[in-house]
Amino acid sequence: MDRIRIVGGNALNGIIPISGAKNAALPLMIASLLTSDTLTLENVPHLADVENLLRILGNHGVDISVNGRREHQDGSYSRTVHFTCRTIADTTAPYELVSKMRASFWVIGPLLARCGQARVSLPGGCAIGTRPVDLFIEGLQALGAEMEIDSGYINAKAPEGGLIGARYTFPKVSVGATHVMLMAASLARGTTVIGNAAREPEVVDLANCLIAMGAKISGAGTSTITIEGVTSLSGARHRVLPDRIETGTYAMAVAMTGGDVTLSGTDISLLDTAIEAIRRAGAEVSAVEGGIRVIGHGDQIRPVDIVTEPYPGFPTDLQAQFMGLMTRAQGVSHVTETIFENRFMHVQELARLGAKITLNGQTARIEGVSRLRGAPVMATDLRASVSLVIAGLAAEGETMVSRVYHLDRGFERLEEKLTRCGAIVERISD
Ligand code: UD1
């Protein structure tokens, strides 16, 4: 199993190219199941989760060709992937595949809309909470589907003639359930109005791609999305939006280590709340042509309290990284997690580096320390693992992060990107 070795203490200076967003690429890839034409996605990141989904889609009958890998001067490359699903070969998504990644459960929407039926294993994913699927079930039931749980699978069946548009308001905001409703309702008969929809940029990206495929969607990016069903969708070409979580992660890394880094190929407006928090912590962040410039001052980090919330609030996917930053703040800060009940597994690992954190329910109290010391630590989930990397970059001495496969699910060429900016980071393959 690979490990990552970090020798901390160096400031970061240079350019970090930001990849396409994992959380946009996954639903966009799944949307290819909705059409028999070719859907072409540009800027698809090379990540374990993406490769896993390629396998799952292949299983459903999607013909996939990957090309267009290009090296740019700033070290970035982008992949273009063509997806063609002439016919759905299999409407079952088996446990062996779905258990590896929660988002693969989302195939239930397109399968049901296009074939009138689906049998999909209940999902796996990061162990950051119970993560039920009740909202998916209720939403699809509102469109007329019969949903039944049987031996770890959900059997879904559309009414004769297909799904039927309906008005449905989610009792709680869910990114995944909003994606699924968007895809399912695009091919339903009549109009669907989704209330309390997720407003994440990735939802807007999916809606834009579906619109390019011929769907009739308005209101994406607001809490109410209206979808007028169409009988079929066509192919399209779409560019995956930049990864705001990767952007925020590197911005926090620079705020912590100090230095001057341009994050290229990203957009500051995707993460206003997080940028505001990073600025309050003392880093200078500005929009520059084609990206964002971050100037960090390392030792003069100010304490900032944050609360995670659905977009446009502070993203839960940046909570662990921000806590990492706060471990070296000059004072006490509080981090409150409201989205996932078990997303504090990084706390005890950060403590191994010398952080002083106490947990009280959903709130962590972080007393900043003047120095962190490198130590062996274990990655516990995707975002938690990268918080250990950025803390390791700011720690004195060597930090060895094990269980790196968590990182590989969501961060493309992390060690290369950091090394190019002066960090000492290497992957050790045993
Ligand atoms: C997506 C993101 C993930 C991010 C999360 C919240 C992807 C691939 N993953 O995950 O990185 O952390 O949004 O921004 O895009 N819930 C229910 N019932 C359901 C569905 C969800 O109670 O049927 C709850 C969850 O347990 C959680 C909350 O709703 O407490 C939000 O989860 P959701 O927005 O659905 O997260 P994901 O779409 O899985």
- 2-44 pLDDT, tens digit per residue, is 899 999 999 999 999 999 999 999 999 999 999 999 999 999 9
Q: Whose CA is nearest to atom 11 of ligand 1?
A: 317
- Binding site membership of 135 for ligand 1 (Cβ less than 6 Å): yes
Q: Determine the Cα–Cα distance for residues 251 and 235; give it in Å rounded to an integer.
A: 36
Calculate how far, in angstroms, residue 97's C-alpha sits from the geometric centre of ligand 1.
Answer: 19
- Binding site membership of 102 for ligand 1 (Cβ less than 6 Å): yes
Calculate how far, in angstroms, residue 181's C-alpha sits from the geometric centre of ligand 1.
Answer: 14
* pLDDT of the residue at 68: 66
- Binding site membership of 179 for ligand 1 (Cβ less than 6 Å): no
* pLDDT of the residue at 78: 74
| Tens of pLDDT, residues 107-148 | 999 999 999 999 999 885 444 445 689 999 999 999 999 999
Ligand 1 atom nearest to CA at 315: 14
Q: Whose CA is nearest to atom 21 of ligand 1?
A: 174
- Binding site membership of 341 for ligand 1 (Cβ less than 6 Å): no
Calculate how far, in angstroms, residue 307's C-alpha sits from the geometric centre of ligand 1.
Answer: 16
Pocket test for ligand 1, best of 26, 131, 149 (most atoms within 8 A of CB): 131
* pLDDT of the residue at 189: 97
Taking only the tens of pLDDT, the chain with its 430 residues reads 889 999 999 999 999 999 999 999 999 999 999 999 999 999 999 999 999 999 999 999 999 999 866 556 666 677 899 999 999 999 999 998 888 888 999 999 999 999 999 999 988 544 444 568 999 999 999 999 999 988 889 999 999 999 999 999 999 999 999 999 999 999 999 999 999 999 999 999 999 999 999 999 999 999 999 999 999 999 999 999 999 999 999 999 999 999 999 999 999 999 999 999 999 999 999 999 999 999 999 889 999 999 999 999 999 999 999 999 999 999 999 999 999 877 898 999 999 999 999 999 999 999 999 999 999 999 888 888 899 999 999 999 999 999 888 888 889 999 999 999 999 999 998 7
- Binding site membership of 133 for ligand 1 (Cβ less than 6 Å): yes
- Binding site membership of 319 for ligand 1 (Cβ less than 6 Å): no
Calculate how far, in angstroms, residue 29's C-alpha sits from the geometric centre of ligand 1.
Answer: 18
Ligand 1 atom nearest to CA at 245: 11
Q: Whose CA is nearest to atom 9 of ligand 1?
A: 23
Active centre residues (catalytic) = 126
- Residues 6 or more apart in contact with residue 358 via CB below 8 angstroms: 364, 365
- Binding site membership of 382 for ligand 1 (Cβ less than 6 Å): no
* pLDDT of the residue at 141: 97
- Binding site membership of 316 for ligand 1 (Cβ less than 6 Å): yes
* pLDDT of the residue at 72: 61
* pLDDT of the residue at 126: 45
Ligand 1 atom nearest to CA at 172: 29
Residues 422, 12 contacting (CB under 8 angstroms):
yes
